[in-house]
Amino acid sequence: MSQKPSIPQGTRDFTPLEMARRRYIFSTVERIFREFGFQQIETPSLENLSTLTGKYGDEGDTLLFKVLNSGDFLKKAPDILLEEKNSNRLIPHIADRGLRYDLTVPFARYVVMHQNEITFPFKRYQIQPVWRADRPQKGRYREFYQCDVDIVGSDSLIYEAELLCIYDRVFAAFNLPVQIRINNRKILEGIANQCGFKESFRSFTVIIDKLDKIGADKVKEELAALGGDANAAMLLLEKGALDKNYLSSLKERMHDVTGLKGLAELEEMLHYLSSYHAINEVVFDGTLARGLNYYTGTIYEVVASNVQMGSIGGGGRYDDLTGIFGLKGVSGVGISFGADRIYDVLLESDLFPDTVANSTQLLICPMEDSALGKAFEYAMQCRMAGISSEVYPQAAKLKKQLTYANNNQIAYAAILGEQELAAGKVALKNLQSGEQEIVDIESVIKKIKA
RNA sequence: GUGGUCGUAGCUCAAUUGGUUAGAGCGUCAGAUUGUGGUUCUGAAGGUCGUGGGUUCGAUUCCCAUCGAUCACCCCA
């Protein structure tokens, strides 16, 4: 009995072409991370649920993939809960582990566990998949890769500035025009405090974050429902170009201490950036909030300028993420690249270079079974000379062998038949031009390497 | 988690209000060309019409369920 194979919802297979393009993304990102002095780590796909839960808000907890305990896990579950059939209450008794939801929280856990081996400030990057039990849609997958760079153990705003440069450099390398939005949670807090949203800060951020989508009137309406002064808040929540005039005008109207601190941070960051000329558009966006709970200072978000897609990158400063795991006073800041969304955007914008699929350079085509040994020998010789080579595994019709070369975009075919064998040479065919000449294997190597 | 749209060949799509044997292009394979691909010509293979049930003399078509894809909301990369 055979069954129709399938893969879980929201997951994908990747073809060789897709992988070549994904590798292009990863290697570009990685190259620039290294340029800034970051070192790579990896963490396990599975984390203890106690590490993950409560870090992303209630919504985040429901989106965590939980993994059932081994063994006869139901035996250990309390009978009352089993009868109740309440999944949420039963989970802690039957699942101790879950798939990671992002790379930042596992990183904070890593820092705490390895604090004695780490030299601070610690600059790490991490390129790994994460999982979310979200319903899939455009640009949303249940398994996707994030590329994270973070620095922990310093609260210097130099790093805020550097991270912005990383965003700019990476997207410049992709030739993808983006808008890099920045804001500071302290400014948001200041506005909230000043306008009577202190108690409802989290709801406040969720609402103003939707300004683009639902419009000013609707936002005002929803803010008013929270009980604060919606009009006063709206006047402070502007989205503007990143310039000194705008900031000074905001500074005049800001009275809250936390808010002023946020503005000072932003100013210092801009001071560092004054010598750097960003290729992409950088804007201060007073309505940028970001849902994740742990951000405390600068926050970033990146959207593609010409493609309709959610954010393709985001990040920010978190002052006390390691504190949750028992290491106080270690501030961190980091950003993330959503590799799969970047893939979709690059594909839609037709921005993948043709050269990403670097295929085999030479196919050796044996015409007789007696040529197989020599073909194998030549292939090894070429490989050791740095030419990626393949041997067609049997003396099939030449047509078939050349079709194989053609479909795999192989540049050269070395035909090895009775005559060539006797002469100690091959017929080297250039599959782009169609030209062909009889040469020895040393000349083949020289010609392809030239 | 809530709602809308859609599931026909490997891919993109047809099939006249429910009617006999479900078609085309592209792709694949074979031959024309016994040692020459990417162009051309000829031919072939490939379908439980997503799955299960119901209505009907008869269902790819109508109804229900289910699975999957997709889009929007929520939230996010």
Per-position DSSP letters for A91-135, written without gaps between them? HHHH--EEE-S-SHHHHHHHHHHTTTTPPSSEEEEEEEEEE--PP
Q: Is A136 (CB) below 7 Å from strand B?
A: yes
Q: Which of A 86-105 have CB under 7 A of nucleic chain B?
A: 102
Nucleotide nearest to A396 (CA to C1'): B35
Structural domain boundaries in chain A: 115-123+131-142+149-348, 358-449
Q: How far is the CA of A159 from the C1' of B71 (A)?
A: 39
Q: What does the mean pLDDT of chain A come to? A: 90
pTM, rounded to two decimals: 0.91
Mind listing the pLDDT tens digit for each residue in A316-371?
999 989 999 999 999 999 999 999 999 999 988 888 887 766 779 999 999 999 99
- What is the distance of C-alpha A319 from the center of its chain? 22
> Confidence band (pLDDT; 50, 70, 90) for A179?
very high
A199 versus A39: which is more confidently predicted?
A: A39
Q: In this predicted complex, what is the ipTM?
A: 0.83
**Distance in angstroms (rounded) separating the CA atoms of residues A61 and A56:** 7
Which of A141-150, A155-164, A209-218 has the lowest average pLDDT? A209-218
Q: Is A218 (CB) below 7 Å from strand B?
A: no
**Distance in angstroms (rounded) separating the CA atoms of residues A287 and A189:** 12
DSSP bridge partners of A439: A426
Radius of gyration for chain A, computed over Cα atoms and rounded to the nearest angstrom = 28
Strand A362-366 and strand A389-391: the pairing is parallel
The CATH number assigned to the domain with range A115-123+131-142+149-348 reads 3.30.930.10
Nucleotide nearest to A136 (CA to C1'): B70
Is pLDDT at A372 greater than 50 in this prediction? yes
Is pLDDT at A2 greater than 60 in this prediction? no
Backbone angles phi, psi at A359, to 5 degrees: -95, -175
The CATH number assigned to the domain with range A358-449 reads 3.40.50.800
